[in-house]
A = this chain, B = another copy of it.
Amino acid sequence: MSKNLTSRAEDYSKWYNELVVKADLAENSAVRGCMVIKPYGFAIWEKMQAELDRMFKETGHQNAYFPLFVPKSLFEAEEKNAEGFAKECAVVTHYRLQNDPENPGKLRVDPQAKLEEELVVRPTSEAIIWNTYKGWIQSYRDLPLLINQWANVVRWEMRTRLFLRTAEFLWQEGHTAHETKEEAIQEAELMNNVYSDFVQNFMAIPVVKGLKTESERFAGADETYCIEALMQDGKALQAGTSHFLGQNFAKAFDVKFTSKEGKQDYVWATSWGVSTRLMGALIMTHSDDKGLVLPPNLAPNQVVIVPIYKGEDQLKEVTTVADGMMKDLRSLGVTVKYDNRDTLRPGAKFAQHELQGVPLRIAIGARDIANGTVELARRDNLTKEVVPSEGIAMRVKELLKEIQESLFNKALDFRDNHITKVETFDEFKNVLENKTGFISAHWDGTAETEDKIKELTKATIRCIPLDAKEEQGTCVFSGKPSTRRVLFAKAY
């Protein structure tokens, strides 16, 4: 199977599209821009969800569920937010179909069933949630309100790509309310750190933490924190965002609270989200020309055992050994699958598990049993070795840890080798044409320069890194004075 995969060097974009489909992660559906997430892809997403959900709860958040639809008038309430999403939203206008008198057997919209007010399918839920919070918040005793929602959202994107940009996608959106500006900013920073920890430690993807420039901010936010990752083709990918919303939504929906001192004030807000887009980041960070490479933390099966046998007797013998091994592995918390399908030869199974990124493959044959060995193959570096079956479970457990770390370090090396400091606009353009990756450059802080650079190079300011040091310099484009570098890149 894997030999059919286009190589990254040949056509990176085609490689990605093929991989997503061939590894059984997702496919396009009959609905423009909407994807089907297949069981294998969804199992990976479920692992992400479980870990994120645990982290959210550990930081004091609770889940809830708000309506899919946002009445148009609520949608309009926060001006910038409405403007930001109006151009790409699905709108429900009717609530019934009827038999089409002109086409027997067909249905049409019932003109009698027009809604008095159109409903927007949520592109994000600030509007419907803040309209609800109005009823939940009266006093400082009701604060902080720390809520998360796992949901589907719809943004009518014109150019879509599986996981990276789809009309409907799955995500989580946190929406919190606080007494003070400081507390809300702390929350926005905390959640950006939760995202960064999750993406780095769990997904093995290094990220830069930073702030968005004003033009790249979430529509309705006063400040947007983000984590930015770098893909193997040198393009950046925004992996998560956490917004300090100021009092914008509280004002739009009139959400005030009485403080301990009896004063009335608007509450302070944050919102933060990551989505199935992370699947795209996962794929493009670790995978290779053979297919998907999964960090052990995210692999639905961390180990697969393939029996090599001729006839029923050998299969029985191998199965007995495999059963014992699986018991040991499971007792160490390792997920393992025994691939004893009789419809495929071992070679075809190897190819499939390689394509689907199973971190470790164990092959057991009659000779192995005689020798007290197994064949152990690593997906990440494609090495194989014959090892004693004695103590294999502990060895696997340690190896999985090693693979997780090794994938992160490899991605970190790549990323660090693709941050280029430039001083002139020629250097800037040169990086984009050759090495690609992040460009660390001085910027004069104006939207005008930012727009101009985008127009000329398609590179955008990915973020103002939080750890950027004060440094005197001059803007790479305008030559005006600047006090710190920002990261530019072309981006997904």
Contact = CB atoms under 8 A, between A and B. Distances in A.
Interface string A74-107: 1110010010001111111111111000000111
A17 interface: no
Given A86-B97, A156-B96, A67 B128 contact: no
A121 interface: yes
A98 to B, nearest CB: 7
A63 interface: yes
A454 to B, nearest CB: 24
A63 B105 CA distance: 33
B39 A147 contact: yes
A63 to B, nearest CB: 5
Contacts of A154: 68
Contacts of A151: 152
Nearest to A140: B343
A70 B46 CA distance: 24
Interface residues of A, number: 64
Given A65-B170, A86-B97, A70 B36 contact: no
A30 B64 contact: no
A110 to B, nearest CB: 8
A88 B95 contact: yes
A96 B92 contact: no
A371 interface: no
Interface of A: 27, 29-31, 34-39, 42-43, 45-46, 62-72, 74-76, 79, 82, 86-98, 105-107, 109, 118-121, 128, 131-132, 135, 141, 147, 151-152, 154, 156, 168, 170, 343
A88 B96 contact: yes
Contact of A31 (B69, B93, B97): B69
A393 B343 CA distance: 53
Contact of A64 (B36, B62, B132, B147): B36
Nearest to A148: B39
A430 to B, nearest CB: 40
Give this chain's copy count.
2
Contacts of A92: 90-93, 121
| A interface secondary structure, majority | mixed
Given A42-B65, A89-B97, A168-B67, A76 B31 contact: no
A67 B79 CA distance: 29
A63 B86 contact: no
Contacts of A87: 96-98
Contacts of A36: 64-67, 132
B63 A46 contact: yes
Contact of A79 (B46, B90, B105): B105
Nearest to A153: B68
A38 B63 CA distance: 8
A109 B67 CA distance: 21
A162 to B, nearest CB: 12
Contact of A107 (B43, B63, B72): B72
Contacts of A86: 96-98, 107
B119 A97 contact: no
B30 A128 contact: yes
Contact of A67 (B29, B63, B71, B93): B29
Nearest to A74: B30
Contacts of A69: 31, 34, 90, 168
A242 B87 CA distance: 41
A154 B86 CA distance: 22
Contact of A91 (B63, B72, B82, B93): B93
B106 A76 contact: yes
Given A36-B67, A91-B93, A97-B89, A29 B132 contact: yes
A215 to B, nearest CB: 21
B66 A29 contact: yes
A70 B435 CA distance: 44
A105 B76 contact: yes
Contacts of A95: 88-91, 156
A31 B118 contact: no
29 contacts: A29-B128, A30-B67, A30-B128, A34-B68, A36-B64, A36-B66, A36-B67, A39-B63, A39-B64, A42-B64, A43-B62, A43-B63, A65-B170, A68-B121, A68-B152, A69-B90, A79-B105, A82-B107, A86-B97, A87-B96, A87-B97, A88-B95, A88-B96, A89-B95, A89-B96, A91-B95, A92-B121, A93-B94, A121-B121
